[in-house]
Amino acid sequence: MEYADLAGDSSGESSAAILRRVLAARAVQDTRYKGTGVTCNARLPSAMLRRVCRLAPDADRVLRGAFERMGLSARAYDRVLKVSRTIADLAGSERIEAEHVREAVQYRNLDRKYWYTA
């Protein structure tokens, strides 16, 4: 998002539009996980991650770079992957693209900055 987008007169996406995207993403997840016992991306076990979280080649490069730069643990890597999958679902994308990973990494940075005190 650009500064002009935030500072302009546009009010952005309506709550109704956001609700439609969330419901559509949840429907995709319901279909994807039918019969597995998994209810949503957040509950995805590590054993299923690679099958469900298919990365575009450029998304893989972004995730690899973030992993190395940020010193992510295996658990943090899995979390970023799950959040990336959710962002892709909200965008209506079957595959996780670089922009989805970048957004998830930014959330991880915010998480580290504001919630971790160690």
Dihedral of alpha carbons 32, 36, 41, 44, sign: negative
What is the C-alpha to C-alpha distance for residues 43 and 107, in angstroms, rounded to an integer?
18
Per-residue pLDDT of the chain (118 residues; tens, 9 = 90+): 567 666 666 667 899 999 999 999 999 999 999 999 999 999 999 999 999 999 999 999 999 999 999 998 999 999 999 999 999 999 999 999 999 999 999 998 766 655 555 5
For residue 117, the model assigns a pLDDT of 52
**Domain encompassing residue 52:** 12-115
Domain contains 5: no
Residue 71 in any domain: the answer is yes
Note whether residue 3 is domain-resident.
no
Indicate the pTM of the whole model.
0.83
CATH of the domain at 60: 1.10.8
Look at the chain and report how many structural domains it folds into: 1
